[in-house]
Amino acid sequence: MCESDIPCLVTCRGRHLSPDLVSIANDAGVNVYRSTMNTVKFINSCTLWLEWEFAPVTSEHGCMVDVKGIGVLIKGESGVGKSEAVLGLLERGASLVADDKVTFRAPEGRELTGTAEELGRFHMEVRGIGIVNVPLLFGVASMRVEKRLDLVVSLKTAEKFVDIDRLGTEQRVYRVMGMDIPFVEIPVAPGRDVARMVEVAALEQKLRSFGHHSAIEFNKKLLQLMEEKRIS
């Protein structure tokens, strides 16, 4: 085994290698570790840890929050109001995952999990105020270490919108690491409650994950009503 260029040896259930085996491992330069876990639990835990550590990694500029179970990445140009929207969501019971820079991992390519860098975790920068400690201001429930990405929201000033989909029948996506994430654009204007708009977008995405698409259902009812009137 030690001649097979393995990184280490691990014994489970707290058992020790015999002195002869330890001597062989030392001569081959193989590290020896001991775990109190049984073999099956150790293999499962080690496999999950290795999948996480060696998963593809990328980063996105924006703020990520957990809104009623939906992981939302809020993007937009500097000064458009991302921090204000996040503060409004935190007041409504949301949890902050990461501010300004979000690191995403894709273990086994199944889903994207966002987290913050350890240095800036639990903090966010608010323009005009500075760095604030989120759990101290809003409570420990206002923070999450990691969250699956379910929706990407882009904040844009109203004048940058050329054509707005008033019904929402078009399902747009934002591509991250080869995965298509549901995507919406929200116009920002003075007097608009952007935090409420992001919350509604997250709840609508939650409905869609259960198979209910409000815009398509409304469109079907409208077409059915028009057909009934045409026949009558």
Catalytic residue among 5, 20, 163, 166: 166
Helical residues (DSSP H) of 39-98, grouped into ranges: 39-53, 82-91
Catalytic residue among 16, 41, 61, 110: 61
Reply yes or no on whether 27 is catalytic.
no
Measure the CA–CA gap between 65 and 60, rounded to whole angstroms.
13
Residue pair 106/143 in contact (Cβ under 8 Å)? The answer is no
Catalytic residue among 100, 121, 123, 206: 100
Catalytic residue among 66, 75, 82, 144: 82
Reply yes or no on whether 100 is catalytic.
yes
Q: At what angle do helices 82-91 and 194-209 cross, to 10 degrees?
A: 70
Structure tokens given for 7: 């990184």
First to last CA, the chain: 83
List residues with catalytic annotation. 61, 82, 100, 166
